Structure formats: C-alpha cells, structure tokens
Amino acid sequence: MSSNRVTNFLVPVFAVLLGMIAGSIVMLVSGYDPIAGYSALVYGAFGDSYYIGETIRQATPYILAGLAVAFAFRTGLFNIGVEGQLIVGWLAAVWVGVSFDLPKIIHLPLAILAAAAAGALWAFIPGFLKARFKVHEVIITIMMNYIALHVSNAVIRSVLSDKGFKSAKVHASASLQSEFLQSITDYSTLHYGIIVALIGAVVMWFLLEKTTKGYELRAVGFNQHASQYAGMNVPRNIILAMVISGAFAGVAGAMEGLGTFGNISVKAGFTGVGFDGIAVALLGSNNAFGIILSAFLFGALKVGALEMPSSADVPTELVDIVIALIIFFVASSYLIRLLLSRFQKEGK
C-alpha cells in the first residue's frame, strides 16, 4: 500500500480520535463523566441485537446520502441539495407504494426507481442552470431544499393525506420491511434497504472507477477547460453528474418511505439526513467504501446517543458536538497530513 493511500486512510481515523478526545474534554468541562458517556453511547449502538439493528437501519440512508454528496464532489460539484432531493424521492416512493397494487417483484423496484427519478429530476434543475447559465449550484440547491420541503408538505395534505398530516401506509408489495430481519434483531426497524445501500456503493465505485463515462465525469470535475479541449461535452457532463447524485439522494428517501416509516408525513423541518450526508462523505474521503464505514460510525453515534441521558445523564447534544468536532478535524486534514508526513520522515 502506497504512503499516500495510508495517509488517506489515517486522516479520517485520526479525525475521529481527535473528535472523541475533544468531546471528552467538553464533557469534563461541562461536569459530565466522559467514560460513562462513551460507555453508554457504545452500549446504545451495539449493546444488544436491537441496538445493532437500529444502528444498521440508521446507517442505511446515510450511506446513500453520502454517496450522493461524494459523487458530486468527485465530479467537481457541491450538491448541498441532497436533503431536498431525498424528500422528493421519499414522496415519490410513497406515492407509488400507495397508489398501485402490483406484484412485489414489480412494485418495489418501481417505487425505488420512482424515488431515484424524482431525486434526479430535482437535481437536474441546478445542474442545467450551472451548465447553461453558470449559476453556482450551491445557491440553487439550498433554495431547492426549501421548495422540496414545502411542496412535499402541500402534496401530502392535498393528495396523500390520511387524517390531514400523513399518508397511508405503502402496500406490502412495495415495502422494504422484513419480518426476518426484525425477528433476529429483537424487532428493531431494520429492513432490506441496507442491501440497496450497499449495492449503491458498488454502483458508484464501478461507475467512477471502471467506466469511460466515469473517467470523463471526473476529468470534467478536475479541469473543465482541459476536458473541453479534449473534446468532452462539459455542460452535458455537469448535468449528468448532478442527475446521478440526485438519484442516489432520491433512493435514500425511498429507504425511509418504504422501509423505516412505511409512509410520509408533513414535516416541520428538514430530516437532517441530507446535510449529515456531507459529513459522511467528507469523513469517508468521498470513497464509496469509505462512506460505508463513515455512515456506520454516524449511525452508531446517532443511535447510541439516545442511551446517554438515561444511562450516564449526559445530554444527547454532546454527540452533535463530537460530530461537529470530527468534521472540524476532517476539514483540518492538512494539519493531520503534515503531522503524519513528519512522522513518516522521522521513521526513515
């Protein structure tokens, strides 16, 4: 393994460790016991089969949201709109799941594809504006998040409403829920979506690393002018990159609509999964398989945090502080790389 690959692996590891250490200091300063806090967090994430199931379930949409962000990053774009694309994907998946009654072999893939198409369509708009009019995608995607939230709420109330604030449950033929997975995890909410998420990671890896189109997308991300000089269609590749990124985000929404909840309800605010996907992608170094590990870490932190108030009297907000510190150290990766390079030089 080359030194560069070792460094790329060690940077997120050190970022997590430094984040946990800094979190311990925050707990001590705030008057809490960090050992008891982290012990409760680990138990709440992996203490028994139920908690393990919940951790895997929580990691499922994180994997796909992280892939959505990372795909855009790898192609030179910053897709802040994953949250909105996830919401419209969730809406589309539930609409198909509620409106049709088909054989499962047709209904479930159709609902997931509808979610991917909805997310892709939502991402197409900022992609087109970026390619055609040079409008920065960050501005458009942020605004599209709010449009997605309020439009989906209006559609739920007027079209999918059941008692005014949520849709009916999707048909069993469109559901990702699994009695088998629930039974082996003490009836957690674990569902087959984790398989879809892992397939998504393989698809992203194969597309970017093993196909000509993936090379072209990455080349446009590295240098648009050089790519255009080489004969590549830069505007088309920008749009395609955003569309694929949005499709991953839409499927993340389907995991919630068809798996975790089985319906969609009016939301007072954002789910947060799309925004957490940015952190997942950063910690995973925008690598498909790194994102899987990163998503499981974030899933464990989110689920384990629920045990901290009852077992260690530590507020769950401290976990958000730890996550923020991890992101800070990932963003400060230059400093970590500098320290690692010095250690490597001293070792020679």
pLDDT in tens, 54-82: 999 999 999 999 999 999 999 999 999 99
| For residue 199, pLDDT beyond 70 | yes
* Length, in residues, of the chain: 348
**Residue 20 is assigned to a structural domain of this protein:** no
pTM > 0.85? yes
Q: Is the pLDDT of residue 347 over 60?
A: no
Inside any domain, residue 34: no
Contact 227, 234 (CB under 8 A): yes
Nearest to 327 by CA among 9, 6, 23, 12: 12
Interval 15-26: pLDDT, tens: 888 889 999 999
Residue 2's pLDDT band (cuts 50, 70, 90): low
Q: Which residues contact 32 (CB under 8 A, 6 or more apart)?
A: 312, 313, 314, 318
Mean pLDDT of 95-119: 97
Q: Is the pLDDT of residue 5 over 80?
A: no
Domain hosting 89: range is 58-293
- Specify if 83 maps to a domain: yes
Q: How confident is the model at residue 344 (pLDDT cuts 50, 70, 90)?
A: low
Between helix 34-46 and helix 49-74 the angle, nearest 10°, is: 90
Task: Report pLDDT for 175.
Answer: 97
Q: 3-state class of 265 per DSSP?
A: strand
- The residue-averaged pLDDT of 35-46 equals 94
Q: Residue 199 falls within a domain, yes or no?
A: yes
Confidence of residue 11 (pLDDT cuts 50, 70, 90): confident
How would you write 104-170 as a 3-class SS string?
A: HHHHHHHHHHHHHHHHHHHHHHHHHHHHHHCCCHHHHHHHHHHHHHHHHHHHHHHCCCECCCECCCC
Domain-embedded: residue 285? yes
User: What pLDDT does residue 340 have?
Assistant: 66
pLDDT in tens, 219-274: 999 999 999 999 999 999 999 999 999 999 999 999 999 999 999 999 999 999 99
287 pLDDT exceeds 90? yes
Q: How many domains does the chain have?
A: 1
Is 341 a domain residue? no
**Residue 331: inside a domain, yes or no?**
no
Look at residue 143 and tell me whether its pLDDT is greater than 70: yes
For the cut 70, the answer to whether the pLDDT of residue 1 exceeds it is: no
pLDDT at 255: 98
272 located within any domain? yes
CA distance 151 to 43: 40
